[in-house]
Structure 1
Amino acid sequence: MAITMELYELKNICKEMAALGAATIVQSNAPSKDLVSQREAYRLFQEMRVRRWVEQGLITPQRNGAAPNSKRFYSMAELQSLNNAETLKTIINR
């Protein structure tokens, strides 16, 4: 089965994968700089998508305290990888 895509789609995929590589390096070298708040994750990747990823167990938020109302943080590298995976899934399953 051959997958056909436009040149701009391939260019965007390459750019997104390069950004994901940079985010992964930041995650391994400076883990605290990789974290984004739940509000920021919702703003960048849409609230319903992030909630769906959490419900499906694809990503788990981290809390910075023991209190039940402490702030939730997500890994930017994990969010980007899920976003890229969904993009590729839609291109492949056309």
Structure 2
Amino acid sequence: MGIVLELYELKNLCRDMAELGAANYAKMVFPAKDLISQREAYKSFGEARVKRWVRQQLVHPTRNGTEKRSKILYSRAELLTIEKTEKIDTYINKL
């Protein structure tokens, strides 16, 4: 059985993939601008979701320095990729 999508779902899927492509291009051209703080990641994507993604090892935070209190940074493109993947999963596995 093939995957059946409503037209609006397909439109949203195409828009999301274009947004993801732009984010990955920006990461390639301006790597430093792709990094966001943990606070900003929580604000943009939701604290519980980001923590779950880290637990599942879907995203990989890095520290800005070597100290324990150094700022934790996330890749915006990586967070967007996981967010869009979850959205696609709901379209495909909605049965």
Band of TM-score, shorter chain: over 0.9
Per the TM alignment, residue 2 of structure 1 is displaced from its structure 2 partner at its CA by 1.9
Unaligned segments of structure 2, at least 5 residues? none
- Give the match's secondary structure for 2:36: strand
- State the partner residue of 2:20: 20
- State the partner residue of 1:63: 63
The structure 1 segments of at least 4 consecutive aligned residues displaced by more than 6 Å after TM superposition are none
- State the partner residue of 1:93: 93
- State the partner residue of 2:79: 79
| Distance in 2 of aligned mates of 1:90 and 1:13 | 11
**Root mean square deviation, CA, Å:** 0.9
Per the TM alignment, residue 40 of structure 1 is displaced from its structure 2 partner at its CA by 0.9
How many residues matched? 94
- State the partner residue of 2:2: 2
| Distance in 1 of aligned mates of 2:43 and 2:4 | 32
Identical counterparts, % of pairs: 53
Per the TM alignment, residue 67 of structure 1 is displaced from its structure 2 partner at its CA by 0.9
| Distance in 2 of aligned mates of 1:44 and 1:10 | 24
2:80 is matched by which residue type in structure 1?
Answer: Q
- Give the match's secondary structure for 1:84: helix
TM-score where L is the length of structure 1: 0.94
1:81 is matched by which residue type in structure 2?
Answer: T
Per the TM alignment, residue 23 of structure 1 is displaced from its structure 2 partner at its CA by 0.6
